[in-house]
Every structure is written in C-alpha cells, then in structure tokens.
C-alpha cells in the first residue's frame, strides 16, 4: 500500500503535464470540430456538418480520401524502406560485423538531425537541374535514370518516404538490436552445432522473440506517418507536391485549418475535424495492436 502511494507521487505530476499539453488540447480540438470557425470572431455550432463535408462534399472529400490514401501508401513504403532495412542492419550488427560501434553511430546520426534541415538539404540534392543525385547518375553513365524526383506524380511520394526512412532507420535498428541481444547466446551455439543454416536460425531462433519488437516498431511507424508534416512541407510544400501526389493528412490539415494555399481562407472547424479523424485512425490502430497482443499472450498461456 505504501509503495502505491509513493508511486502516485511520480504518476500524478506526469499525468498533469500530459493532460495540460496533450489531453486537454486534444479534447478542445475535438470540440472545435463541431463548429464553423475561421480563427477570427465567434464560433457557430453546426453539429456534424464538418464531418459530412469532409466525407461527402466535394472538393473536401476528394482531398481527404486522397490524403488518407497517400498516408497509408507512405506507411507501406516506410515499412519496406525503413523497417526491413533496419532489421537487416540489426542482424549484421549483432551477428559478426566488424566495427559495430562505428556503424551504429553512423546509422543513428540522421535521427538527431532536424526534419526541416533534412528536407531542405534533400530537396536540393534531388533537384533535377543542380541536384547531386542526377549529377552522380550522369557521371557513371546512367543518364536515363535521371529524374525530376519531386516533380513526378509517381515518384514524389516514394522519394519523400525514402528520405523519411533514411532518417529514422537508425532508431529502429537500435530497437531490433536490443531485441536480438536479449536472445540467449546458447541458442545460437546449439543451432551452429546442429548445422542449421542462416535462414533456419533467423526463422526459428531470432524471429519469434522479435515479434513484440516488430509490433512496437510497426505502431511507432504508423503513428509517425499519420503525424507526418514537417518533412513533406520542407520538401514539396503545403500542397503536397505535384497534383497533391504527396498530400498527407498533416499537410491537408495545415492547408485547411490555416489557409494560405492558393488564397484559401482558414477553416479551423474543418481543420479540427481532419485532426479528429486522424486521431481516430491512430486510436483504432493502437486499439487493434493492444487487442492482438492480449490475444497472443492469452494464447501462449
């Protein structure tokens, strides 16, 4: 009982800070979604009209479902570019690669850099006229591979997703490394004595303990993508690239709530509705993850 009381002294301050900066603003934002509000003057209560406009009224529903589709596509690219690469690098760093300390540092460095700075630098590197990437391709005889990477509707989204993956791969590598290092070394030695090949070692020894880590990495990636704004804004602007090809929920929210793009007037109420829908996407995914984790643990017991 005394331990629980002492524990409250640590939990309550954190909860109050979290409530003040996260929970209460979230509730207030949801409240604004039921009003028509430009950011200036009085708010007019309109019920679920903003949700109806967002889901069924053009052009808002077109932009909304386009942003939702782009966000899920961004998530799929990130899972492949970032997390598959992170798992392969983690395997290399824990299974005999030399100079692991050096490589861990190099891989983790991009995580510490500013998103806006990364976006600005990469947008210059990818510039079709002065960018270093096209210059390198031309110098090695691959002129046919040069592209307007951020100017192509088909290439802009995977290109931005690849830059995002480049920055956060190091963080996921550290999580996978921690998961692999928690596996007893005796299991690897036994597999080596039994003559197991690399695939068998990965499938039977490494992968099962990594399932919870993969779940955490997936949720972190999902939440990061659905909160994505800075990098897209820095690389292609608030309109989300050519013909809204990189328009994710974050840029759609910004453009709607604060206006500015093409003379668009701020619509705080509709912007709050977009934020609420984004929150529901994230909450549903976290709820599904927790439920599946509970079912898996219950099955193991």
Q: What is the mean pLDDT, run by run of 10 residues, along the chain of 301 residues?
A: 68 79 80 83 86 90 94 95 92 79 86 89 90 89 87 92 94 91 86 82 87 90 92 90 90 84 74 91 86 74 60
**Same domain, yes or no: 165 and 54:** yes
Look up the CATH number of the domain holding residue 97.
1.10.3720.10
* Cα–Cα distances in angstroms (integers) from residue 114 to residues 98, 118, 167, 176, 236, in the given order: 30, 6, 10, 23, 17
Residue 301: its pLDDT value, please? 60
**Same domain, yes or no: 110 and 173:** yes
**Same domain, yes or no: 100 and 130:** yes
**Same domain, yes or no: 220 and 286:** yes
Single pTM value for the model: 0.87
Which three-class secondary structure state does DSSP give residue 182? coil
Total domains present in the chain? 2
**Same domain, yes or no: 41 and 6:** no
**Same domain, yes or no: 85 and 74:** yes
- Letter string b/e over residues 219-255, b meaning 16 or more CB atoms within 10 A of that residue's CB: bebbebbbebbebbbbbbbbbbbbebbbbbbbbbbbb
Distance, in Å, from the CA atom of 242 to the CA atom of 109, rounded to the nearest integer, reads 31
Residues 112 and 96 sit within 8 Å (Cβ to Cβ):
no
**Same domain, yes or no: 18 and 132:** no
Which domain covers residue 115, as residue numbers? 33-300
**Same domain, yes or no: 169 and 281:** yes
**Same domain, yes or no: 95 and 167:** yes
**Same domain, yes or no: 173 and 274:** yes
Residue 51: its pLDDT value, please? 92
φ/ψ of 76, rounded to 5, equals -65, -45
């Amino acid at each position: 009982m005394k331990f629980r009381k002492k524990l409250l002294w640590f939990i309550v301050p954190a909860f109050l800070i979290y409530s003040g900066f996260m929970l209460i603003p979230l509730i207030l934002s949801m409240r604004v979604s039921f009003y028509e509000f430009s950011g200036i003057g009085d708010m007019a209560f309109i019920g679920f009209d903003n949700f109806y406009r967002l889901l069924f009224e053009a052009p808002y529903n077109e932009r909304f479902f386009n942003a939702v589709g782009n966000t899920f596509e961004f998530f799929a690219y990130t899972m492949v570019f970032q997390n598959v690469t992170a798992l392969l690098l983690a395997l290399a760093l824990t299974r005999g690669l030399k100079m692991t300390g050096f490589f861990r540092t190099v891989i983790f460095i991009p995580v510490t850099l500013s998103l806006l700075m990364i976006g600005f630098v990469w947008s210059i590197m990818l510039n079709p006229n002065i960018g270093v990437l096209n210059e390198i391709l031309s110098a090695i005889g691959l002129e046919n591979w040069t592209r307007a990477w951020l100017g192509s509707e088909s290439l802009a989204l995977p290109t931005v997703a690849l830059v995002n993956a480049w920055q956060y791969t190091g963080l996921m590598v550290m999580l996978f490394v921690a998961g692999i290092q928690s596996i007893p070394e005796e299991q690897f030695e036994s597999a080596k004595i039994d003559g197991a090949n690399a695939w068998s070692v990965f499938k039977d020894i490494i992968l099962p303990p990594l399932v919870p880590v993969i779940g955490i990495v997936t949720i972190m990636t999902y939440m990061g993508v659905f909160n994505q704004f800075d990098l897209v804004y820095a690389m292609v602007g608030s309109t989300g690239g050519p013909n809204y090809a990189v328009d994710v929920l974050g840029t759609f929210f910004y453009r709607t709530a604060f206006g500015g793009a093409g003379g668009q007037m701020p619509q705080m109420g509709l912007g709050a509705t977009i934020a609420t829908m984004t929150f529901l996407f994230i909450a549903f995914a976290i709820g599904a993850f927790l439920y599946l984790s509970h079912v898996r643990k219950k099955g193991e017991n």
